Structure 1
Amino acid sequence: MNNKIKKFIKNFTYTFSANALSIIISTVLILIVPKYISVTNYGYWQLYIFYSSYISYMSLGLTDGAYLRFGGYEYKKLPKPAFVSQYWFLVFFDIVVNFSIALFYGLQSDDPSKTIVVIFTCLTGILVVPRSLLTFMLQATNRIKEFSIITILERIIYFFLVIVFLICGVRKFEFLIFADVIGKICSVIYSFFVCKELVLGKFESLKVSLKEILVNISVGSKLLFANFASMLIIGIVRFCIERNWSINTFGKISLALSISNMLMLFINAVAVILFPALRRTSEKNFPAIYRIMRSIIMVPLLGLLTFYFPAKILLSAWIPQYTESLVYMALLFPMCIYESKVLLLVNTYLKTLRKEKLMLVINLITVGISLVTTSIIVFIFNNFNLTILSITFLLALRCVVAELALARILKIQVKKDIILEISMTVVFIVVSWNLNNSIAMIVYFISYLLYLFIKKNEILSLIKNSRVLLKSK
């Protein structure tokens, strides 16, 4: 086994361990927390998670630009003084911006609970944005072990504190948020030690520092806005749900989204190591690698949709107060198929090929469609079912458009596979929503077997030729 294969397997082991732990912790929290706190408290907790997912984008694109520019570098070859300057620039910038947001919201808000959520969210921004520069550099330079430990440390502390609070009878959402903040603080401290050369040391000259900051922002802003727009596709729908219905409804739908998104943690484990690996790979191998990775992802993911049916029964028995939201998993569960493909394959390839502008255009178009369709469905028709279904529709639309654009660049054919996957998604949603749970599972399983029969030649070819994935000449 050559060194490249060993390195890939070693890095995958680290990221798989970190993300497997995250999946376990997320699963336990998804199952435990809603059981013991009120629907309202759960709603505010999910609102904090929702807001904090956006506050982390206050890097102006600097961290994204550094990630793109230095992806594939050796850590020791990074310009350390320039990164010290950029790190502390982010610290100062985020303190000013987040303090201003918290002050402004606090002065005009009439909801004390939401004010607490916003204040904690702003504190989170001060912690995670500067840290993202360090974690991005660890990923870009293939220091996957240290990056994984940062992830593991944050999640373990968060999980431990939440369980302690619940055992002690604490049922307020503020303490759940506090646990998350403490976990982030500890991970930030650890990141100082593993990236001390990027945090503590000699500053670069003001002229060079400003030049590096502006170059990274210029390079990364397209990727930042592309990722931000990607989140807005679902974010607009969730925001309208919270505004038009209630915090309780928002919490219930957030639970269904959390369950549907659990698979994304594992997919992210592969995406983390695939980008630097592709940067070191000849472009002539890109089409072959894409076809292999596509089959590796999509074949098992479509099969995993079968687990929705027993999961619905078990979760309904465990948290009956959320039975209504679990019904909507029938509409949301397929979103993991399209999000997984975009995160692991499409976006990774577009970043490697430096097509951030294309990512941005596709995501902005989808955001525009999301804004129009959601406004009509929510505020004119007031149709909750269609609102939830629109999430999967929008993500599928974005995925199909982006993959077709990428396929043109790589000069490969994917239309047949796209049609098959859309067909499987439609079958799953229709039978899950309209048929008895047991009958629906049987119908979908038969459909999946038919899908495997259609794909049998590609699957057999994949097994025979999977070593192509690890070649890089």
Structure 2
Amino acid sequence: MNKKFKDFYYTLSANMLTFIMGVVTGFMIPAYLGYDDYNYIKVFGFYLTYVGIAHFGLLDGIYIKYGAYDYEDLPRGKFRSYFKFALIFQVLEAIVIAIGIFMFTKDSSRSIVMYFVVINMILMNMTSLFAFIHQFTKRFKLFSFNTVFTKLFYVIGCLILFKLNQYGYVYYIMIQTFVNLVVLLIYIYNNKEIVFGKSDSISKNVSEYKELFGTGFLVMMGNFITLVVLGIDRFIIDKFMTNYDFAMYSFAYTLVSLFFILLNSVTSVVYPFLTRAAESTYKNVYETSRYAISFMMTFTLSGYFIIRFVVEVFVNKYVDSLIILVFLVPTVVCSGTINILVQNMYKVLKATKDYTKNNLVALIIALLTNAIGFAIFRSSISVAVATLIAFILWVIYSDRYFSKILNINVKKCQMFDIIIFAVFIFTALNFQWYIGMIIYVMLLSLIIFIFFKKEFKNILMLIRK
């Protein structure tokens, strides 16, 4: 099997299994738990997405510096010192943050949640170091195994708790914490050559650490801003609306995140190969990939109709979340473009300053659209609509940047996205789930076949190459 497809196969298989297990937990937990306990679990998950900022770009700096290396070529002494420094750095940060939580958080339940977030900050950032190494050295097998293990063990833990009639949020957070610890230990064992043994002196390589922080900080900030853009809607709901509203919105977002699992299959294998691609191919790669992502992800939107059926039949106490889901699901197409193509292309071009600047523009757009949407209508649906608008504008702005750098033209693809979003929303709101799915898939196929036949052929040619 071609190595590129073998790597993709490992990652796709892992994420498909993760997707299936995500479906199980995504529907089971809200079905069994009360709104308040489910709300605290989702608050935990929400703030957990931001723990990556705590490494301040160190891991991104390593990722960029060694992105074209194979595992055997990594300087072991340096990486041992990276591991030690990162661990010390994370523990010290955790202590400071924990003191802040003790001093300023009055709600005891929220304090417990935040303490667990701090513990997981250490575990997840240390795990990210090894996950990055496995990605840029193209050793996807263990990376894929840990992806599956994380979800599988969590599913098993949840099933045990259901059997024992334990529905308190703390138990589910403890399971996630234990899983994250085990995953880190697995990574350490499988990378022991760059963990244990004689390491380079940290104090004698201060200039190198400054360089890593300097290189990675802008990328980290760009990624962090991306996460803020992705989380503004939930932050608004959490702060200004009820626990019920946050539970409904979080349930909808959990279902959307199932689509993001499949995105990871592509994202994690793209960067190592882009770094090895000839610069002369970037224009063709961007244009063709832009269409490929839109075509692929718009077809995945049909999964909404299946999800709607499952919610209506098996988890009907969350049926109010479906209207929110209609407007959040199309953001998956935009996220696919941003995560798979835009972010990786910024890294390949080493345009870290532009990456951060352009993401700041995206943040401003998201803040404005969400603030206006919430201020006028004061509903979670208006926040979801505002989020979709922000994503569309973000993608258009990103395309505009690369049109100048790479001389590309993807306006036709932008029109395709907007038209298909309108078709999807119309069919989702006006038809039974099975009729809507048939109409949506048929119209999508016809539009691609009639108006985008040339672009589809270009995609097939790129895959063959």
Q: TM exceeds 0.5?
A: yes
> Which of 426, 433, 440 is the matching residue for 1:444?
440
The answer as to whether partners of 2:70 and 2:137 remain within 8 angstroms in 1 is yes
Alignment of 1:30-109 (within 5 A): 30-109=26-105
Measure, in 2, the Cα distance between the counterparts of 1:383 and 1:245: 9
Aligned to 1:459: 456
* Residue identity in the other structure for 1:334: P
Greater Cα offset, 379-388 or 342-351 = 379-388
Aligned to 1:120: 116
* Residue 291 of structure 2 is aligned to residue 295 of structure 1: yes
Cα 1:148–1:313, aligned 2, differ >3 Å: closer, same or farther? closer
Measure, in 2, the Cα distance between the counterparts of 1:444 and 1:16: 25
- Aligned residues, how many? 464
* Residue 223 of structure 2 is aligned to residue 227 of structure 1: yes
Measure, in 2, the Cα distance between the counterparts of 1:131 and 1:437: 40
Q: Deviations over 1:254-296 (max 9, x none)?
A: 1111212212212211221111111112111223333443333
Measure, in 2, the Cα distance between the counterparts of 1:207 and 1:93: 14
* Residue identity in the other structure for 2:260: M
Measure, in 1, the Cα distance between the counterparts of 2:367 and 2:388: 15
Aligned to 2:169: 173
Cα 1:20–1:209, aligned 2, differ >3 Å: closer, same or farther? farther
* Residue 337 of structure 2 is aligned to residue 349 of structure 1: no
* Residue identity in the other structure for 1:159: V
The answer as to whether partners of 1:153 and 1:186 remain within 8 angstroms in 2 is no
What secondary structure does 1:72 align onto? coil
Measure, in 2, the Cα distance between the counterparts of 1:142 and 1:418: 32
* Residue identity in the other structure for 1:176: Y
Aligned to 1:247: 243
Unaligned runs of 5+ in 2: none
Measure, in 2, the Cα distance between the counterparts of 1:382 and 1:155: 35
TM-score when normalising by structure 1: 0.93
Aligned to 2:149: 153
Aligned-residue offset at 1:370: 2.2
Aligned-residue offset at 1:441: 4.5
Measure, in 1, the Cα distance between the counterparts of 2:139 and 2:389: 37
Unaligned runs of 5+ in 1: 469-473
Percent of residue pairs identical? 26
Greater Cα offset, 388-397 or 455-464 = 455-464
> Which of 189, 194, 201 is the matching residue for 1:198?
194
Cα 1:135–1:118, aligned 2, differ >3 Å: closer, same or farther? same
Measure, in 1, the Cα distance between the counterparts of 2:444 and 2:79: 50
Measure, in 1, the Cα distance between the counterparts of 2:158 and 2:434: 36
Measure, in 1, the Cα distance between the counterparts of 2:463 and 2:135: 24
Runs of 4+ residues deviating >6 angstroms: none
Cα 1:444–1:17, aligned 2, differ >3 Å: closer, same or farther? closer
What secondary structure does 1:354 align onto? coil
The answer as to whether partners of 1:72 and 1:280 remain within 8 angstroms in 2 is yes
Alignment of 1:371-386 (within 5 A): 371-379=367-375, 381-386=377-382
Aligned to 1:143: 139
* Residue identity in the other structure for 1:62: L
Measure, in 2, the Cα distance between the counterparts of 1:459 and 1:301: 14
What secondary structure does 1:344 align onto? helix
What secondary structure does 1:328 align onto? helix
Aligned-residue offset at 1:11: 1.0
Aligned to 2:258: 262
Measure, in 2, the Cα distance between the counterparts of 1:427 and 1:231: 28
Measure, in 2, the Cα distance between the counterparts of 1:229 and 1:369: 12
Cα 1:427–1:261, aligned 2, differ >3 Å: closer, same or farther? same
Measure, in 2, the Cα distance between the counterparts of 1:178 and 1:308: 31
RMSD: 2.0
